[in-house]
Amino acid sequence: MIENLIAKDTGLSLITHSKAVGNMCYIMMDNILCDSDDKEKYKNISRCCGLLHDIGKTPIEIQDYLNGNETKCNEKKHFLHNEISWAFITSLKLDDSKFLLNAIYWHHAKYCNDDTTTYSQILNNISDDDKYNMIELFNHLMNDTKKICDINLEESNPTRNYFDDDRYNHKYIVFRSVLISADRIVSSLSNEDVGRVVTDSEFCLKLINNEKIMSHSIILPQHYDPIRFSLQEKIVNDCNDHKTILVKACAGFGKTLIGVLWFLKSKRKLLWVVPRNVIAESVFDSVVEELNVLGITNISVELFLTGERKMGHNVSDEDFSSDIIITNIDNFFNPFISDNVAKKSYFINYYDVIFDEYHEYFGSDGSLFSGFVEVMRTRNLLTNSKTLLLSATPSISNFLWDNENNKTCVLPNEKSHYDSTHKNIYNINIINESDIHNISDGLIVANSIKYAQELKTKKGTLIKKPFSNKQDWDNIFSILHRAIDVKCE
């Protein structure tokens, strides 16, 4: 009897768990999607993902395993429940099921068998009684809207590879992240609260709600340049009506303050993503300093690296829960590829995001570059979350994620960037290595990290070794001349 099937070793009914995850998926998808003609369709598909994701737990061997009878069954020696769920639903030959199948198969992807196994091979490993129970459970969960009596083992789509289509990657990301996070959230609740999720939409919203940040009055600090601050505020106001914004401004312009002001205006939780740890640490210090100078004392900020909170300002006890979460690109992507933190995958798409120094991903390996582009497509084309891209040397790449109805706002425009507000002339001096210790103020460029670290130890300040020949200096001068007014001595 399907009423006796369990979803967890807590004894929670598989029917109750499936209905709870289905309702949570529907509400989460409604919460994250921007308005479009497909919104209602995608919400219903997402509900089906939640209802059917664990139908592969029906077989008696997996039920024995969930009941703690490991002598009878060790699930890892058999096909896993997500594989069985995928195989069963594939056999039904449902119309337009690519998002459903992709999300269900990958909701526990880490331990899956090789992808050459066909769905009929998986189902032929299951008894007729178990297949009958899956059919009965399907009919019950789908509320008789599409009754089925049998499954089809004819392999017109023989393997799991058929739904790997680059055209849909950004949509796969949304459906997977919603199902994975909904499943993890429901699984973390008591059996009583799981029952509430089935019928109480307000309770579901409380579990996922992106709480609004209260409004704050901004007063110009006395030592701030009023001209630059006025321009920074104008840029933030110009961002207000756009979902995706790219700001091009030179080093020293105050892009960190722009990010802080943008967050305060948006009043939503924010992920601030940078390429490397050292930049993340610097941004954390700068954000906390800007908030303090602006007189804002009730915003929580955390530095989240290597899967844990490293530093915090006004933080709560739970990691990854602050108003502003500063992290690196590896930690940002980790929930998409690591099962133990997959619960965060929905919130990575749901929160507002700043990609600081985003241009560095375009010179990286192909997987990081393609992952960044797919996330941008997901956020820009499907979600109602906002994204701010900051760079002093931007790659104008928004054509990779824009379409006719969702265009990135590029500030000041596609052909220029915000110049430094001061008109000072920089002096660049070529010196001998032996004269480095005489420098009291300035920047020294090195050609290796190792030597820069050695010089830091000797001098107490991060300085870098000069280039070794005239051609190297000619190259750096060419770059600098395009960015600032330079006087070479």
Examine the domain organization and report whether 239 and 107 are in the same domain.
no
DSSP state of 215: P
pLDDT over threshold 90, residue 272:
yes
Nearest C-alpha neighbor of 178 from the set 19, 24, 332: 24
Q: Name the most confidently modeled range: 73-77, 149-153, 361-365, 428-432.
A: 149-153
What is the spatial distance between Cα 21 and Cα 23, in angstroms, rounded to a whole number?
Answer: 5
Q: Can you state the percent helix, strand and coil of the chain, rounding each to 5?
A: 50, 10, 35
What is the spatial distance between Cα 303 and Cα 291, in angstroms, rounded to a whole number?
Answer: 15
Residue 217 within a domain: no
Q: Give this prediction's pTM.
A: 0.82
Examine the domain organization and report whether 233 and 204 are in the same domain.
no
Residue 290 within a domain: yes
Task: Provide the residue range defining the domain that includes 192.
Answer: 2-208
Q: So what's the pLDDT on residue 420?
A: 74
Examine the domain organization and report whether 142 and 107 are in the same domain.
yes
Where residue 366 falls among pLDDT bands split at 50, 70, 90?
confident
Q: So what's the pLDDT on residue 145?
A: 62
Q: So what's the pLDDT on residue 78?
A: 73
Residue 461 within a domain: yes
Examine the domain organization and report whether 93 and 197 are in the same domain.
yes
Across residues 335-355, what is the average pLDDT? 89
C-alpha distances in Å from residue 210, one per residue of 198, 287, 292, 311, 346:
21, 21, 24, 22, 12
Nearest C-alpha neighbor of 105 from the set 75, 78, 83: 83
| Percent share of the chain, pLDDT over 70 | 80
Examine the domain organization and report whether 407 and 334 are in the same domain.
yes
The interaxial angle of helices 98-106 and 39-52, nearest 10 deg, is 40
Examine the domain organization and report whether 263 and 324 are in the same domain.
yes
Residue 219 within a domain: no
Residue 175 within a domain: yes
What is the spatial distance between Cα 185 and Cα 8, in angstroms, rounded to a whole number?
Answer: 14
Number of domains in the chain: 3
Q: So what's the pLDDT on residue 147?
A: 76
Examine the domain organization and report whether 355 and 243 are in the same domain.
yes
Q: So what's the pLDDT on residue 103?
A: 94
Residue 213 within a domain: no
Helices (H) and strands (E) counted in the chain, each on its own, are 18, 10
